[in-house]
Amino acid sequence: MPPTDFAQSDARIRVCCYVYLIAEDIERDANTTPASPQ
């Protein structure tokens, strides 16, 4: 596998993980009420 393909796939994986973490944070914020400390 050429280094360029590896770099592209690695970047794609990082973006997917980044978006997944952001979606988790948004979902957590939506599920929590303003009164709760979390």
What is the per-residue pLDDT for 34? Answer: 63
pTM: 0.51
What is the residue-wise DSSP string for 18-38? Answer: HHHHHHHHHHHHHHS-TTS--
Q: Supply φ then ψ for residue 13, to 5 degrees.
A: -65, -40
List the chain pLDDT tens, one digit each, 38 residues: 566 787 888 889 999 899 999 999 888 888 766 665 55
Phi, psi of 2 (to 5 degrees): -65, 150
pLDDT of 22: 93
In which element (H, E) is residue 3 found?
Answer: helix 3-31
32 and 38 Cβ atoms separated by less than 8 Å = yes
